[in-house]
Amino acid sequence: MPTYKAPLRDLRFVYYELFDAESLTALPGMEDAGEDLVMTAMEELARICEEVIQPLNAPGDEEGCRFDQGKVISPKGFKEAYDLLAQGGWTSLICHPDYGGQGLPHHVDIMAGEMLCSSNLSFAMYQTLTSGAYLAIDHHASQELKDYYLPKLTSGEWAGTMCLTEPQAGSDLGLVRMKAEPREDGSYLLTGTKIFISAGEHDMTENIVHLVLARLPDAPAGTRGISLFIVPKRREEGGKLVPNGVTCGAIEHKMGIKASATCVMNFDGAVGHLVGEPHKGMRAMFTFMNAARLHVGIHGLALAEAARQGAVQFARERLQGRSLTGAKYPELEADPILVHPDVRRMLLACRAFTEGARALTAWTTLGIIDAEHHPDPERRQAGDDLASLLTPVVKAFQTDLGFETTNTALQVCGGYGFTRDYGMEQFVRDCRITQIYEGTNGIQGLDLVGRKMPANFGRSLRRFFHPVSEFIAAEAGNERMKEFVEPLAKAFERLQRATGWLAEQSLKSRDEAGAAATDYLHLFGWVAFAYLWARMAKVAMEKEGQEDALFYQAKIATARFFVQRMLPRHSAHFAALLAGAASMMEFPDEAF
């Protein structure tokens, strides 16, 4: 059975050596959030993840959630673990002190989220959704609603969800039919059904705060007529919490994340309150959705990390055959499979992905911090542009490659990996949903090419292109960096060509953008990884000969493996993209 060890050393490297997260202490309100405090906190959370939460992962998958007459019973141990997190203040890391939070920088929550998701994704989702609800309410609700709901979400006493999907309205939220009828006291009565609601019902908190998309009676058609409402499972009446017309009709029986309740939620005249302006609900909900998309990208990274660790453990222990160049462990009856080239290929691919994804996640997160906290308006705008651009890449690229990585890790373990007893197959099943929820990965590609690429006349793209171009120019004469910079430069030049070609072709037909979207996003992802791996190699070279030499040697070696054995995959996406839409769009509908 796989175990988990939090990658604290690599988290420290990414945030405090590759990126200067220590400089965040210069931002207002973050003066005390230095490296020592943050990493000490992460060490304590790592202990909880390793000793309490990860041991619940496989049993939770076996037991799953149970549905009994409208109630959802979580797996054994989940509520106790959730209470432990809440009591320890882990639900309040980035929440504002005005509501009882700790006010820490956003990257602390991201590091914590990765460890929780690696330990037990089903369990972590309950807290992730609550964090998203907190952010949406904090950014868009009235002060009265903030004062009422945010302290309870901060403390972990109440949990949160978002309720978007309906039977006829999945990716196309313009088809939402949930009704909201105004009342004389300023509240609303909501009626309708939502489906696929993660953590819509459970037994871990006394109340659940639903953020619900619905239509007012005078709403225009499409997404322009959607409003956002807070609808609690229980509302306060006479100083007590009473049922509020929100019930769970069923839970889904799923391929993975079985310990996370995915619910059909019925709203029968439930009392709710408007968040923000009428008919402007999508803007408010996107605060939640963008945070959720970043966290789903972390799901892909986290499950890949857990699977990678299991594969490494297996490869060290499993004895099969001898090395192709002669016995490496002659005292044993066979060599561990770690000596075989193809096993090493798979393990290094897993490592190169997880460490690259951790760096891309960090870069995106630091953009969010600048956007929300930096006193310089230009820095705030630049941070927002970068984070907005990279979010669909983090979500889609890291979950596509995350799922691939969990499969690769299972392959290392052979037949044992395929069995339920060993635990590797759960990572594959759990990771599959990450490519679907919070907007399918195809939609992330459309978002990248249709919204982010042309936004503000290409300003967001320049937030990525300029630092990559400047790094390539700066390192052009560095002989030691040549093996990393030249492949990066080649891939980057193709991304620039693809961007220009796509902009031109999209003016002729939107189908061209749709046909190219996934390949463009993957091309973008490979270039982003190449840039970050080159930067990581440079940092590691500068630390050679210092303490922790093996760590830095491994970082350089992994960067070398990435550019030689993985980055060439960008060429296939470039070629496919330039092939255009004709081969798929001219195929007759009736021939499918």
Using a cut of 0.85, tell me whether the model's pTM lies above it.
yes
Q: Of 495, 210, 434, whose CA–CA distance to 301 is shortest?
A: 434
pLDDT above 90 for 544: no
Q: What is the per-residue pLDDT for 286?
A: 82
pLDDT above 80 for 483: yes
Q: State the average pLDDT for the chain.
A: 96
pLDDT above 90 for 287: no
**What is the sign of the dihedral through the CA atoms of 24, 25, 31 and 32?**
positive
**Distance in angstroms (rounded) separating the CA atoms of residues 297 and 518:** 16
438 is known as an active-site residue: yes
pLDDT above 80 for 1: no
Q: What is the per-residue pLDDT for 546?
A: 84
Residues 417-442 have pLDDT tens digits of 999 999 999 999 999 999 999 999 99
Q: What is the per-residue pLDDT for 80?
A: 98
| Phi and psi angles of residue 20, each rounded to the nearest 5 degrees, phi first | -90, 70
Q: What is the per-residue pLDDT for 520?
A: 98
Residues 23-60 have pLDDT tens digits of 999 998 889 899 999 999 999 999 999 999 999 999 99
Q: Which two tokens stand for residue 587?
A: 């195929």
**What is the sign of the dihedral through the CA atoms of 121, 126, 132 and 135?**
negative
**What is the sign of the dihedral through the CA atoms of 308, 311, 316 and 321?**
negative
Beta bridge partners of 267: 192, 246
Give the pairing of strands 240-243 and 66-68: unpaired
**Distance in angstroms (rounded) separating the CA atoms of residues 416 and 410:** 8
Considering the candidates 438, 470, 542, 586, report the single residue annotated as catalytic.
438
| Phi and psi angles of residue 586, each rounded to the nearest 5 degrees, phi first | -90, -5
Q: Assign 283 a pLDDT band (cuts: 50, 70, 90).
A: confident
Q: Of 451, 63, 465, whose CA–CA distance to 293 is shortest?
A: 451
